[in-house]
Structure 1
Amino acid sequence: MPNPENAHRAKCADPRTIIFVAYGQMGLLDLTGAQTVFWAATRCLADLGLPGYVLHTASLHGGPVRTGEGLVVQTLRLDDLLDEPINTLIVPGSPHIRQALMDSAPLVDWLRVAFGKAWRTTSVCSGAFFLARAGLLDGLRVATHWLMADLFEQMFPRVELDREAIFVEQAPVWTSAGVSAGIDLALALVEADNGRDVAMQVARRMVVYYRRPDNQEQWSPLLQSQYATD
């Protein structure tokens, strides 16, 4: 039986468009960790004479968006990108997700529309809250930051939360745990698109571990032992 990922890979003769969905108080590393992976992948693919990725950071109204850490990011307008083929939507999380959901309620409506246009939709950390609020995760197994697991289950009882996973694939939806797990997710997406060798090259360029397994515990025994050591 043909592998659908390989079929998709073969069809991508043009650069793949990735839209990073920005909003006020989003987490900076949630955004830039994954962005750097796709940027590095594009450089690796260019060395092979292959198309890479076109990266857009966009918000509902465009213009400057302040992250939770205080850095201001310049963005395009989301509606201006809906007419072009979208390979991947990526929604970063926020350390202030309750407030972010209230402040960005129209973004949920936009995600419902964009979901039908994108080849796959993903979230980093508490970005899963936006996808769940849009009704895009009902009946799926997902990941989010372990600190927000209780809140997520209270708010979205129809979604199956995997409290341990670093990232979860439920095609066409991928979700990840918190912060740096967005890098693991992005490396997995690069591997799905281009194969393991390219993903390995990206990891080497970024000087990161190739990627943690998707089922590795977020709160690993090693980290627990380090935390308990005096």
Structure 2
Amino acid sequence: MSRILHLLTFPDVQLLDVSGPLQVFATANELMSKQGHPAPYVLKVISAEASSVMSSAGLGLITLPLPPADQACDTLMIAGGRGIDNAAQNPQVLSWLKAQAIGARRVASVCSGAFLLAAGGLLDGRRVVTHWSRCAELTRRYPALQVEPDPIFINDGNVWTSAGITAGIDLALALVEDDLGHELALAVARHLVVFLKRPGGQSQFSATLALQNNAGRFSELHAWIAENLNADLSVTILAERVGMSERSFVRHYRAQTGSTPARAIEQLRVEAARRLLADTRLPIKRVASRCGFGTEETLRRSFLRAIAVTPQAYRERFAAL
């Protein structure tokens, strides 16, 4: 039986918050149809504006009116965008949302769509995530929520929330996997040329980008480290590269980045190893060597510490080849 999915939009919605997840479900329909099965999803883009909304990108979206609040759906998904605060202050939308959520098997938000769910009291006491730039605000405005800034998406009971923008694609793939299995979800990811279907627990932050954002005087050092992960990256070597004493380097580095040099290097090495495990068939021993871990055991321990899976398990689940 087809699952009805209501994707709620509003003026100034983020375009990719709508089109990204929508295409995942549409592709699942296409692939299932090619296999001779009925389309698993009935997709309805809806809004309180009844016929259309203008996205923040300047592209208009044709929408259906809000269905009767007591008309059950399988999945209720809320898009995000800069218009979310106005939507969260709309009494009609909030009233409809609360009633619609009662009959939905699951409720989900993309990016800042979590603010609308929170305004409706649907996230109280739950673990949630939103775009990294608004996590602190979500925590401050809705203290009953357990906001976690790192994950790509979080599933707590029948409620799913996701991080910023493209994380909506990861969320939709996870919902497809929950409905139709890993094989089809991976087929959808490959069809959309999303080479790596990221797990929810993976950080929405790239270690490289996070260090760049906080690097300041150490930007050039981080660029060099990224190009020399299998080199000697001891504090002695790093301090010499930036012309500082070891003690001064460690102190200033922690103050600038919020991390120790050893921890930052491990994050960069794990990130590089993840890419190689997903995108190549290099033996794990060579991945460990190329990324500077030295041995498979060191790589394994770092993976378990960073993302709670072994390198082999990571490859089996997320390899694109």
Select 1:90's aligned residue among 77, 102, 117.
77
> Runs of 5+ in structure 1 lacking a partner?
1-13
1:40 aligns to 2:22 (yes or no)? no
> For each residue in 1:120-176, what CA deviation from the matched residue of structure 2 results, as whole angstroms up to 9, or x when unmatched?
110000000000110011000011000001110111000000110100001211000
Q: What's 2:130 paired with?
A: 144
Q: Do the aligned residues in 2 keep the contact of 1:94 with 1:100 (CA within 8 Å)?
A: no
Q: Distance in 2 between matches of 1:60 and 1:204?
A: 35
Q: What's 1:69 paired with?
A: 57
Q: If you compute each CA radius of gyration, which structure gives the higher value, 1 or 2?
A: 2
> Runs of 5+ in structure 2 lacking a partner?
221-321
Name the % identity. Answer: 39
TM-score, normalising length from structure 1?
A: 0.88
**What one-letter code is carried by the residue in structure 1 that aligns with 2:186?**
M
Q: Do the aligned residues in 1 keep the contact of 2:69 with 2:99 (CA within 8 Å)?
A: no
**Pairs within 5 Å for 1:48-63:** 48-51=35-38, 52-63=40-51
> For each residue in 1:85-115, what CA deviation from the matched residue of structure 2 results, as whole angstroms up to 9, or x when unmatched?
411111001134334433x342111110001
Q: What's 1:129 paired with?
A: 115
Q: What is the root-mean-square deviation in Å for CA atoms of aligned residues?
A: 1.7
TM-score, normalising length from structure 2?
A: 0.64
Q: Do the aligned residues in 2 keep the contact of 1:199 with 1:210 (CA within 8 Å)?
A: no
Q: Distance in 2 between matches of 1:19 and 1:81?
A: 11
Whichever structure has more strand as a proportion of its residues is 1
1:30 aligns to 2:17 (yes or no)? yes
Q: Do the aligned residues in 1 keep the contact of 2:112 with 2:130 (CA within 8 Å)?
A: yes
**What one-letter code is carried by the residue in structure 2 that aligns with 1:60?**
A
Select 1:190's aligned residue among 176, 179, 183.
176
CA offset at residue 224 of structure 1? 2.7
Q: Distance in 1 between matches of 2:47 and 2:29?
A: 23
Give the SS at the match of 2:121. coil
**What one-letter code is carried by the residue in structure 2 that aligns with 1:76?**
L
1:222 aligns to 2:208 (yes or no)? yes
User: How many residue pairs are counted as aligned between the two chains?
Assistant: 215
Q: Distance in 1 between matches of 2:156 and 2:112?
A: 17
CA offset at residue 226 of structure 1? 5.7
Q: Distance in 2 between matches of 1:217 and 1:95?
A: 23
CA offset at residue 205 of structure 1? 0.7
Give the SS at the match of 2:111. coil
Q: What's 1:8 paired with?
A: none
> For each residue in 1:158-211, what CA deviation from the matched residue of structure 2 results, as whole angstroms up to 9, or x when unmatched?
000011010000121100001000000000000000000000110111000341
Q: Do the aligned residues in 1 keep the contact of 2:14 with 2:82 (CA within 8 Å)?
A: yes
Q: Do the aligned residues in 2 keep the contact of 1:140 with 1:159 (CA within 8 Å)?
A: yes
1:110 aligns to 2:96 (yes or no)? yes
Higher RCO (CA < 8 A, seq sep 6+): 1
Give the SS at the match of 1:168. strand
Give the SS at the match of 1:126. helix
**What one-letter code is carried by the residue in structure 1 that aligns with 2:47?**
S
1:172 aligns to 2:167 (yes or no)? no
Q: What's 2:284 paired with?
A: none
Q: Distance in 1 between matches of 2:33 and 2:196?
A: 20
Q: Distance in 1 between matches of 2:131 and 2:155?
A: 16
